[in-house]
Each structure stands twice: as C-alpha cells, then as structure tokens.
Amino acid sequence: MAHYIDGFIVPVPKRSLKAYRALARKCSKIWLEHGALEVRECVADDVPYGKRTSFPRSVKMKRNETVVFSWIIYKSRSHRDSVMKKVMADPRMAQMMKGTPPFDAKRMIFGGFKVILEA
C-alpha cells in the first residue's frame, strides 16, 4: 500500500536542539493521536555543504545551526488532510503556536509527497 508523506527540512540553532526535541515530542503525540501512522525527526549527521545544492544550503544554514529532516506518514492524501484538520483544531497546537518556536520557521521547507516505492 502506497502511503503519503509530509516532509520537512528545518534549520535549528544547535543550542535549541533540546527545546526543538521537546516541541517535536509534543507535536508527534498530537499527530499520532489524530491518526498519523508514524513521525520521524532526524538531526543532521553527515550533510556536507554542497557546491550548488545540499541540505544546509536549502535552509541557508548558519554556522551555529544544524538541519533537522522530518516526516510524517499517512495512509493517503485524504487521510493526511483529515488528520491535519484535526491537528489544526486541537487546542494544544493553538497553545504551542503562540510561543516562539526553537527554529526559524521562515526558512522551513515542507511539502506533501506521494510514495512511489516502498521496499
């Protein structure tokens, strides 16, 4: 069964990784409660700065930052849309969105993807 993925690339100040992880933990709990199948948050370990393109270049990573690559798995696009509607209506999300996030949201890259291969 082909799934649907929401993917994210985010620049996070290294000093804010602990706060980012705490926020991600809270958010993933909400997503999973509302039906997401899986949530992954991954911090850069081997992401060289490319001459033309790279993860660091994609978010205009600064010297004191790292890159976090994340994804959420759903059954389908319609399932994602249904889960997202519930997540956005959740009062816990509204409360979290009032604060300043531990990353630069203006440089976040995100999008939805149809899975074409599952091995």
Write out pLDDT tens, residues 42-62.
999 999 999 999 999 999 999
Where residue 60 falls (left for φ over 0; alpha for ψ -120 to 50; beta otherwise) is left
Predicted local distance difference test score (pLDDT) of residue 94: 87
**pLDDT tens-digit series, residues 53-99:** 999 999 999 999 999 999 999 999 999 999 999 999 999 998 888 87
Handedness of CA 45, 48, 54, 57 (dihedral sign): positive
pLDDT band at 100 (very low <50, low <70, confident <90, very high): confident
The answer to whether 74 touches 37, Cβ cutoff 8 Å, is yes
The answer to whether 33 touches 103, Cβ cutoff 8 Å, is no
* Tokens matching residue 79: 């399932």
The answer to whether 12 touches 117, Cβ cutoff 8 Å, is no
Predicted local distance difference test score (pLDDT) of residue 7: 98
The answer to whether 8 touches 108, Cβ cutoff 8 Å, is yes
Domains and CATH numbers, the chain: 4-114 (3.30.70.100)
* Tokens matching residue 92: 């816990």
**Whether pLDDT at 1 is above 90:** no
Task: Please give the average per-residue pLDDT across 98-116, as a whole number.
Answer: 93
